[in-house]
Amino acid sequence: MICPSCGDDANPPGARYCESCGASLDPAVVARPKGRGCRCVEPDFDPEGFCRICGMRAAKPTPAVEFEQIVDTRLALASDTGRRHPTNQDFGAVARRGDGAALIVVADGVSASDNPEAASRAAAKAAERAFVKADFASRSLSAEARALVGEAAEALLAIPIAERRHDGPASTMVLAIARENAASGGFDIGLAWVGDSRAYLVAANVPETLLTRDDSWAADQIETGRLTRQEAMRSPNAHAISQWLGMPIGDMIVHSQEVVLTPGVSLLLCSDGLWNYADEPSALARAFTEAAREAADAALICRALVGFANAAGGADNITVGLLRT
């Protein structure tokens, strides 16, 4: 059975999930209609735009993205080069494994380093492989998340250095592991990150909650009170990072925490190509609310948020991963 997400053709007949990437192999999920709106073959719209046959409005087109990975209607990721960069130095992955745990990982290659495209891809793929194949059930979620970031760091350090004028490939990473909590109806989440890619809790019409703290010059200036957030973000040093995958393992600080995802709240991970345009309080919540109003499907919301960043300028690569309750 061929996986529609990664293309692996070695899955046994009747398998529910891909053994390589964890994506759903359920035909009802793979072939589901995309988003809300009329899907009639021959629609009949009234003057207000509603179809007389199904009662739905015309389906709105969704923004195109360079790369996306869809596990099911609740778990997806989208990535795009943006409007100004020639290549996409971001990469990411989403997966679900046999014990029901879900993974989101977003990596952002550091432009000033050697081969940033290879760095982000190697890091994200290594974390995804380790997540799907390994059994960390005896560890806490935060410990497992930290272990996966460690796997990613080791894989990145194994990339040959192409140009000796730099220190080698480098990337940021934010990673989340989620396990369903039957008692609450939500998820228990383990987070780990290095650099300035971020994780948020988001819900329609509710201010977002930033879960991560950037390893960056701007974050240091704001935290110490030297500059206001507005002053720090206007500086050309704003996105200079102080920690990254690719630095010596002994010098790298991996942050982690555990949070609870309650029903009605979603977990969003992204690179700075999105949060740059939604760093003001409640800006990301407004963008998410607008996207969720048009579609409940995680993949379509990711696409819409990529479209939001591109419409705002698209100055950087954009990657968004989402888990919906």
Q: Where are the domains of the chain?
A: 68-323
- pLDDT higher than threshold 90 for residue 170: yes
Reported as a pLDDT band with limits 50, 70 and 90, residue 133 is confident
- pLDDT higher than threshold 70 for residue 168: yes
**The pair of three-digit structure tokens given for residue 18, joined into one six-digit string:** 């891909």
Q: Give the pLDDT score at 69.
A: 95
Higher pLDDT, residue 102 or 13: 102
In the chain, % helix, strand, coil (3-state, to 5) comes to: 25, 25, 45
Share of the chain above pLDDT 70, in %: 83
Mean pLDDT of the 262-274 span? 97
- Which of helix, strand or coil describes residue 246? coil
Reported as a pLDDT band with limits 50, 70 and 90, residue 193 is very high
- Which of helix, strand or coil describes residue 29? helix
Q: Give the pLDDT score at 229.
A: 75
Reported as a pLDDT band with limits 50, 70 and 90, residue 41 is low
CATH class of domain segment(s) 68-323: alpha beta
- pLDDT higher than threshold 90 for residue 282: yes
- Which of helix, strand or coil describes residue 106? strand
Higher pLDDT, residue 293 or 238: 293
Label residues 173-195 b or e (16+ Cβ within 10 Å = b): bbbbbbbeeeeeebbbbbbbbbb
Q: Give the pLDDT score at 51.
A: 81
Q: Give backbone dihedrals phi and psi of 15, rounded to 5 degrees, phi first.
A: -65, 140
pLDDT-wise least confident of 181-185, 266-270, 282-286: 181-185
Reported as a pLDDT band with limits 50, 70 and 90, residue 48 is confident
Distance separating alpha carbons of residues 172 and 153, to the nearest angstrom: 10
Structure confidence by residue, pLDDT tens digits, 6-23: 445 566 666 766 665 455
Reported as a pLDDT band with limits 50, 70 and 90, residue 225 is confident
Q: Give the pLDDT score at 4.
A: 46
Share of the chain above pLDDT 90, in %: 61
Give one word for 111, left, alpha or beta, with left for phi > 0 and alpha for psi -120 to 50. Answer: alpha
